[in-house]
Amino acid sequence: MDLDLSAPHSTGTTIIGVTYNGGVVLGADSRTSTGMYVANRASDKITELTDNVYVCRSGSAADTQVISDYVRYFLHQHTIQLGQPATVKVAANLVRLLSYQNKNMLQAGVIVGGWDKYEGGQIYSVPLGGTILRQPFSIGGSGSSYLYGFFDQAWKEDMTHEEAEQLVVKAASLAMARDGASGGVVRTVTINAEGVTRKFYGGDTLPLWHDELEPTNSLLDLLSSSVPEPMST
């Protein structure tokens, strides 16, 4: 079990994007790994592109950060030119153009989500090759493998905001329990007509699943109650 500290930072990750009646909820775990080492246990994988469009990043951390920076820059100019906020579709398209045209060099799977006045809440999936696909909900990252069946059963159209938020948090925590490359805390971002709301769910607020142990105090505490005998010779 060798710690390869020069391995590229990867957002091993679980990312989720879900539409609900009135907007979208984006969710992600917070683990950034360098090989086996957790480089950042509290990272923020949900990045702002514009006031009304955010992106969940998975794959190479560097690649997704650079793509986000470029798209933020292009969208800023586009907004000035247009005189009104950019649509989610445009943001997603710019992401996929970069992803597709540089597919040989990039490892980036992202979920673009946001709200605009024409189409309301929308989720666009842009996986590794640069496909763009609009979906009512989307999952990505290494942890998503464990969520396909879960969403098949738990997803429904036209949820309320509370239902959608709880679904995202539950799903993320399930994936984090099984996927070694996902973990830490759950962050969510809600985007709707009123604006953007960020929420944080620490480890102690997340439910425990099968075979996960309750947190307990260290057993060494039992020893410290009696004065330790000095060692003889």
Annotated active-site positions, please? 13
- The residues with which 59 forms a beta bridge, in sequence order, are 11, 108
Kindly state the smallest distance separating residue 93's Cβ from other proteins, in Å. Answer: 3
Shortest distance, position 123 Cβ to other proteins, whole Å: 15
CA distance 85 to 180: 39
Q: What angle do CA 198, 140, 200 make, to 5 degrees?
A: 20
Shortest Å distance, C-beta 86 to other proteins: 8
Cα-Cα-Cα-Cα dihedral sign, residues 62, 52, 17, 38: positive
- Output DSSP code: residue 159: -
Compute the least distance from the CB of residue 111 to other proteins, in Å: 16
To 5 degrees, how large is the angle CA 171–CA 174–CA 180?
Answer: 125
- Pairwise CA distance, residues 82 & 54, whole Å: 19
Rank residues 94 and 168 by Cβ distance to other proteins and give the closer one: 94
What ranges make up the beta strands (E) of 85-173? 108-116, 120-126, 133-135, 137-140
Cβ of 15: how many Cβ atoms within 10 Å?
A: 31
At 39, the amino acid letter reads A
Quick one: 7 or 82, whose CB is closer to other proteins?
Answer: 82
Nearest to other proteins of 40, 93 (CB atom): 93
Where on the chain is the footprint of other proteins (CB under 8 A)? 78, 81-83, 87, 89-90, 92-94, 97, 118, 132
Q: Among residues 32 and 125, whose Cβ is nearest to other proteins?
A: 125
